[in-house]
Chains A and B, each alone.
Chain A
Amino acid sequence: MSTEAPPNAPGAGARHDDALLELDNVSRVYGEEIEVYALREVSLQIFPGDFMSIVGPSGSGKSTMLGLLGVLDLPTSGTIRIAGHDVSALDDATRSRLRGDSIGFVFQQFHLIPHLTALGNVETALLYRDLRPRERRERAYAALAELGLGSRADHRPVQMSGGEQQRVALARAIVTDPLMILADEPTGALDSANAAHVLEIFRGLESPERAVVMVTHDTTVASTARRKVSMRDGRIVADERLAGTPE
């Protein structure tokens, strides 16, 4: 990666076509009689290779932003494009497909399906993709093994520690080889040792083809990133590039 002209510099409007995900003048309003703007005319581009954090205090619109970036929600106005597709124009099946193919989620509460094993949880992301069961299982196992959980494949979430559960969730996020990893307070429910380990994994996920986006209010997590988007009252107040990854 070149150092003098970072390809993923914020505000690179000229690189419009290259954006993985693009928010164009997006607002999200809740309520009908009393309208509450959770997000107000926000524009943001996320590029391949971005390793960014979205920070802000409670109520700043982070969660709304996360829902929109993850295509779990649609904007009230404005346009969101993933790899050029306007997500509002897609039907649910196509949008779901796009979400499954493009985005890997990691949640604060891990959100593993309790009755499935670690392997089964990772496999969930590979369902309905015309894979043979054997191939699906092998890919899921490979993702678990990559995160050092090969021996835990048959364990259910309750049999695992928080750190392990979050690694299973990470394996589920990367098993589809998505364009973007979208993490919501990924270390929020972990002790510091596990948090450090998970952050290290996130750093390892950085690649020129992929964007990693972490929504957080944790400054340690935020300072891990190379790009930091700050939010307040439903707007982006800062979009800065950090000098480098701290050790």
Chain B
Amino acid sequence: MSRFRDLLMVAWTGLTARKVRTFLIMLGPIVGVAAMVGAVGLTESAKGDLKQKLSQLGTNLIIAQAGGTFGSQNPTFPSDAVQRVEAIPTVTSAAGTTNLSSVIAIPTEGGSDYYQAFPVPVRASDLNLPAVLEVPLLDGRWLSSADNALHTPSVVLGAGLARQYGYLRGEARTIRLNTTNFGVVGVLGPVALDPDLDNAVFITQWSAQHIFATDGKPNQLYVRAKPGTTQAAADAIPTAINLGGPDQVTTKVPSDVLQAASQADKTLQQTALFAGLLALSVGGLGIANVMSISVIQRSSEIGIRRAVGHSRSKIGAQFLLESLFVGILGGMLGAALGVGIVYLVSALANWVVVIDYTRIPLWMSLALVVSVMAGLYPSAKAARLEPLETLRLG
């Protein structure tokens, strides 16, 4: 083992004795690995904000909408649709909402005409909607069982609507739904997966049934599936709801669109990756080239080492180890440089940094393999060198 340590020491001293040349040799793996890390990192980071949003929202939300039943203008689900969907094993939770198309919300008397012309959607909602959406409240509270029990005329505003109304945090605000005044109790946070909700007014199912005389049947369900089973759950929902009946159910997974949008430009990425590979292999040629010259320049050193008893294989190993060090250090420096570039460019371009660190070791070992392969020929040449010819005796 101590012989191997001696070998490491000799190779290391050989490299550090010629720092500039060593650095120049290292540029190959450095540029190659940096290019590959940068290529993937930059193309991913360009879509980093979408990816980040996606990972926050999750990809397991399903929206189910009632399709046209025969002879029905406003199709609805059966009133127990939520329970039926929740019975699906791959579903973790579900909440229903009902669109109240006949209800018009008037936030201010002055804006009455405008809001009658451009009505704001009003939705009767189950109490667990924010929990299913996994969206927090921006202000106040959500509709509660107490609202149902006490028949309080409470509304919650969507985030966009609250901004449009100029609603202040904690403000006591009344808005009129048809002829009834409702008190604003809270503001729902932005729902990225269904931005329609940002612009809606939410009331309790009790209010919908008793003030606006609806039948309490939902026409839209928000369903959370167990991770990884989203598509299976989405496929099971229509059957669970209509039980083979004529009711039509359309389901969509809203994150799919976002997911597609968040995909990095694969062509660009592969092109850049290929350029990195090219840089690495050219770097390998550079290593082979410079090290071959180095062997000639160091022939006297090789002769001396042979004279003091170092064997051919030790000399070969010494040079091979030098190229191994070049590969390891170059790969590490290249990875650091690549990560640095991704952070720098992302900071300048206002991107969210996305770096897949699990792939970096692969590229680093690629640099290592290229360096060692490049070192094979010069090492063999060094080992074959005849000491007698290099020492210039007599």
- Enumerate chain A interface residues (CB-CB to B < 8 A): 58, 62-63, 66-67, 70, 72-73, 92-93, 95-101, 105, 107-109, 111-116, 120, 124-125, 127-128, 130-133, 172, 176, 184-185, 215
Contacts of B311 in A (CB 8 A): 92-93, 95-97
B309–A97 touching, CB < 8 Å: yes
B309–A99 touching, CB < 8 Å: yes
B3–A111 touching, CB < 8 Å: no
Q: Answer yes or no: B378 CB below 8 A from chain A CBs.
A: no
Q: What's the minimum C-beta distance from B7 to chain A, rounded to whole angstroms?
A: 7
Q: What's the minimum C-beta distance from A115 to chain B, rounded to whole angstroms?
A: 3
Q: What's the minimum C-beta distance from A83 to chain B, rounded to whole angstroms?
A: 15
Name which residue of chain A comes closest to B394, CB basis: A63
A185–B394 touching, CB < 8 Å: yes
Name 20 A/B residue pairs within 8 A (Cβ), A-sorted: A62-B394, A63-B393, A66-B394, A67-B393, A72-B307, A72-B386, A99-B309, A100-B310, A101-B309, A107-B391, A112-B304, A115-B13, A116-B13, A116-B17, A124-B304, A127-B308, A128-B310, A132-B2, A133-B9, A184-B394
**A247→B203 CA distance, assembly (Å):** 120
Q: What's the minimum C-beta distance from A160 to chain B, rounded to whole angstroms?
A: 16
Contact of B309 among A73, A109, A120, A125 (CB under 8 A): A125
List 8 extra interface pairs beyond A99-B309, A101-B309, A125-B309, CB under 8 A.
Answer: A62-B394, A73-B386, A97-B311, A100-B308, A113-B301, A127-B6, A128-B310, A185-B394
A124–B305 touching, CB < 8 Å: yes
**A72→B312 CA distance, assembly (Å):** 12
Range class of the B interface residue count: 20 to 34
Q: How many A-B residue pairs have CB under 8 A?
A: 92
Name which residue of chain B comes closest to A217, CB basis: B394
Contacts of B391 in A (CB 8 A): 72, 107, 111
B13–A72 touching, CB < 8 Å: no
B 135-174 to A, binary, CB cutoff 8 A, 1 in contact else 0: 0000000000000000000000000000000000000000
Contact of A130 among B2, B10, B307 (CB under 8 A): B2
**A125→B5 CA distance, assembly (Å):** 15
Given A72-B391, A107-B391, A132-B2, are A115 and B18 also a contact pair (CB < 8 Å)? yes
Name which residue of chain B comes closest to A125, CB basis: B308
Within residues 288 to 317 of chain B, which ones have a CB less than 8 A from any CB in chain A? 300-301, 303-314
Given A93-B313, A125-B308, A184-B393, are A73 and B3 also a contact pair (CB < 8 Å)? no
B 1-32 to A, binary, CB cutoff 8 A, 1 in contact else 0: 01101110110011001100000000000000
Contacts of B303 in A (CB 8 A): 111
B10–A127 touching, CB < 8 Å: yes
Contacts of B18 in A (CB 8 A): 115
**A96→B303 CA distance, assembly (Å):** 12
Contacts of B309 in A (CB 8 A): 96-101, 125, 128, 176
Contacts of B13 in A (CB 8 A): 115-116, 120
State the 10 A-B residue pairs at the shortest beta-carbon distance, nearest first: A100-B309, A63-B394, A115-B17, A96-B311, A125-B308, A93-B311, A63-B393, A127-B6, A67-B388, A105-B307
Q: Answer yes or no: B387 CB below 8 A from chain A CBs.
A: yes
Contacts of B312 in A (CB 8 A): 92-93, 96
**A114→B17 CA distance, assembly (Å):** 9
Name which residue of chain B comes closest to A59, CB basis: B394
Q: What's the minimum C-beta distance from A161 to chain B, rounded to whole angstroms?
A: 20
Contacts of A101 in B (CB 8 A): 309
Most chain A CB within 10 A, of B303, B307, B314, is at B307
